[in-house]
Amino acid sequence: MTRKVKISGLGLAGVVLLACWMLFTDSGRRMQFFIGGAMINLGYGMQDHLASYDFEHEHAISPGDVWKEMQSQNEVASAVRKWFPRTARHPLVAMVVCMDARLDTNELTGDSRHYYYIIRTAGSVLSEREEEMLELAVANGVELILLSTHSDCAAEKVASTPDMRQRYPALARAVDEREARIKEFLARPAVASKIAAGALDVKLVNIDTMTEKILPR
């Protein structure tokens, strides 16, 4: 009896020590971050293969059916969020990412805390509107901007294929202008002055679509 009490006492002390380590030390907090990421991946693994809940055309499915399924999924997801609200974060990073569905901006860093301003456009192109939005993000405290492209980009294929260019001329033009728009953005006085003062960094990167590894370009 005494032995049992001793063991549970030791177990309890271990749990308390572990909790203190996780909550109050740098390495413990880092471990929490990784465990959170691992649990999200567990969730992806559990949902990924469920064909009955996706929008694949395995059976005749109409746009109305897709909308109904999406609404019912949102019903559950928003109810969960109502009970477990997320902490509001002030982003230090802004990213421009293509609208390609294979790219998940949460997965890029394994961070689900919405720590980033995200602009998603076809082909990661910028127009004057996005340039202004990024400048506003910088004014709101952003210190790092990632301007990304990615492998196997459908918008880039449109721009490099003559008959596709004819069908989607505006998209092709926007991809053609992408680099010039970046130069234009970097030259905006409010942006250029922050870069010169060392208060802002802008990285041009390429994302490997299959692994989501961020590579310099």
Residue ranges that bind Zn ion, judged by CB under 5 A: 98, 100, 153, 155
Residue 212 to residue 79: CA distance in whole angstroms? 30
Cβ nearer to Zn ion, comparing 108 with 153:
153
H helices within the chain, ranges in order? 2-24, 26-48, 63-83, 128-139, 154-160, 162-167, 169-176, 178-186, 189-196
Residue 17 in tokens: 């020590």
Is the separation of the CB atoms in 146 and 217 below 8 Å?
no
The distance of closest approach from Cβ of residue 146 to Zn ion in the complex, given in angstroms and rounded to an integer, is 15
The distance of closest approach from Cβ of residue 102 to Zn ion in the complex, given in angstroms and rounded to an integer, is 9
**How many CA atoms lie within 13 Å of 14's alpha carbon, on the beta-carbon side?**
6
The distance of closest approach from Cβ of residue 122 to Zn ion in the complex, given in angstroms and rounded to an integer, is 7
Residue 212 in tokens: 């989501």
**How many CA atoms lie within 13 Å of 103's alpha carbon, on the beta-carbon side?**
28
The distance of closest approach from Cβ of residue 16 to Zn ion in the complex, given in angstroms and rounded to an integer, is 49
In the numeric block, the tokens 């961070």 are attached to: 111
- Please report which helix (H) or strand (E) contains residue 95, including its range: strand 93-98
Cβ nearer to Zn ion, comparing 100 with 131:
100
Cβ nearer to Zn ion, comparing 119 with 155:
155
The distance of closest approach from Cβ of residue 166 to Zn ion in the complex, given in angstroms and rounded to an integer, is 20
Cβ nearer to Zn ion, comparing 22 with 118:
118
Cβ nearer to Zn ion, comparing 98 with 174:
98
